[in-house]
Every structure is written in C-alpha cells, then in structure tokens.
Amino acid sequence: MIDFTACRRVLGKAYNGANGKKIAVQYNDRQYMLKFPPSAQNKPTDLSYTNSCFSEHIASSIFQMLGISAQQTMLGTFAVNGKTKIVCACRDFTSNGKQLFDFCSIKNTIIDSDHNGNGTELCDILETIEKQQFVDPALLLEHFWNMFVVDALLGNFDRHNGNWGFLFDPATETASIAPVYDCGSCLLPQADEKVMENVLENEDALNARIYQFPTSAIKQNNRKINYYDFLMKAEYPECNAAVCRIVPRIDLNAIVEFIAKVPCITDLQKRFYCKYISARYEKIMLSVYEEVRPSVKDK
C-alpha cells in the first residue's frame, strides 16, 4: 500500500464530479487523481463510506484485462485530520496537455438536435455518435457498445454522459477516445457486510441483483435499461457484435486471482466480488452470448 499523504499537491488542477472528493498529486514523476470514498450517510447501509474506491480499482482493472483501454489505478492511503482513508489513485491521462471532453459536451455540439447533452436516451446517444466529427463514428460506436457490455458484466448503474468521452490534443488538433474512467458505480459499492452475506447465502437476493437491478443509467423510451432484458432482446446488431467480442475474452480464473491480491479488502468482500461477477457472467453474459452468437456468426 502506498501512502500518498506526503505527495506534492498539484495546485491549479481540479476535477469535476459529485461522487467523492478528488485532489491531484505528483507520485513517481506522474500526476494522479486521488479519489476519496464518498460518505454513505443518509443511505440505507451500515457503511460509513461506500466501497466505490475498491469498485473503481477492480472495475478499471477488469476493463484492461478485457482489452479495453481504461485508466490505470492503484489503491493507497491518505491521512486527513488524523484519520487515514483508503483512496483510489487514478493516473491522470490529461497531464500531457491533452484536454478531456466528456460525451455530454460532445452531445451539445450537435446543433441540429433538439436534445441536450445530459440526456441519456439511447437513440439520442446513437445519433450523436453518428453525427459527431471528433473521431471515426464506427470506432466510437464499437467503443460505446464494448463499454456497455462490460458495464453489464460489472453492474454499473451510473455510466452517464459525463463519465466517458474524448481526449483532444491542442498541439495536433486531433481527438481520440479517452480511456474508460469513473467506474466507482460498479460492483454494488453501497453493499455493506449484511448485504454481502445475504447475496452469498441467498440465491433470491443474488438473482435480484442480476435480473432486476442495478439498471443502466442509459434509457430506452424514458426508462432505465435493464441489462439482462435489453441484451436478451438482441435488437441492436452492433451490441450483439460487442457481446461476441467481449464474452470470449472473460477469464473468470484470472479475475478471481486478481481480486485475491487486491489490498485492504476483507475475505468477505473478495468472496462477494468473485461471486457477483461470476454470477453475472454465467446468468447474463453467457446466456446472451449463446442467444446472439449464431446471428453474428452468420454475418
């Protein structure tokens, strides 16, 4: 575990977002964003702080394991007012002078659309992907569905337009797709020990967190998308193709081995994360894969 308390603060650098405090520090000649766990007060949980820092690190690492560019993270500590907190250090991919434009900002550039940047209706997102002029629309569409499929595996309930997007290089005036970031809403970050034990021991409790919730932040017909129902309908060929790309890459043994080595989490948490991911893989991803593979293979 790395103690970031004595690291030099990078003044003049601040980060947006409502999910916990964030500061910029210099560590080993690289700039990192330290994400602090948000308080769980006023939420139905016995946690003092949510597990979002663990979710951030584990989920970002799994994205990378599946061949999708994602922020590089590590867990560490930071002392504040005599209290030591677990933080997630995310390497700042804008420290080289590149600018991050989230999808919300890009969505606002589509001037012939009546929809604002914050709207997460799927048809509006797909329209923006087609009309935007920053990167190749085909590559962006593939990235979007890859990200959606992995979010389905990890149970991400908050992939809105503000936490994915593009990197713009002012020196060359070119843009590229940003690494996947802001994954703290994966893996049920508000689950306390009671919830974890219940999910591990009660099949109904586990199934509820697979087939019913969490839902995606993306909407269809003004309702948040249920991952299982949406994927099983197989209405979008590009989404089906993403399933067929991603599912064969999922190595549960490698994921379990990785989680076993994650510092600062209890054995209960490790068993919970492994069970949760394995169950979503078997009950959602494999089921959908078997459903859509014949049609994708024929093409």
pLDDT tens-digit series, residues 13-36: 888 766 678 999 999 999 999 999
Give the domain ranges of the chain: 2-95+181-298
In the chain (299 residues long), the average pLDDT of successive 10-residue segments reads 93 76 93 85 54 95 97 94 92 89 87 66 93 93 98 96 92 94 94 95 96 96 96 96 97 97 95 97 96 77
* Cβ count near 161 (within 10 Å): 23
Cα–Cα dist 224/80, whole Å: 38
- 3-class SS at 99? strand
pLDDT of res. 214:
96
Instruction: For 2-95+181-298, give the CATH class.
Output: mainly alpha
Cα 16 to Cα 70, 88, 161, 166: the distances in Å are: 18, 16, 13, 16
pLDDT of res. 40:
56
pLDDT of res. 66:
97
Burial class (CB in 10 A: 0-12, 13-18, 19+), 94: middle
Inter-axis angle of helices 237-246 and 137-154, to 10 degrees? 60
Cα–Cα dist 146/70, whole Å: 12
Cα–Cα dist 58/260, whole Å: 11
pLDDT of res. 77:
95
End-to-end CA distance of the chain: 48
pLDDT of res. 3:
95
pLDDT tens-digit series, residues 132-188: 989 999 999 999 999 999 999 999 999 999 899 999 999 999 999 999 999 999 999
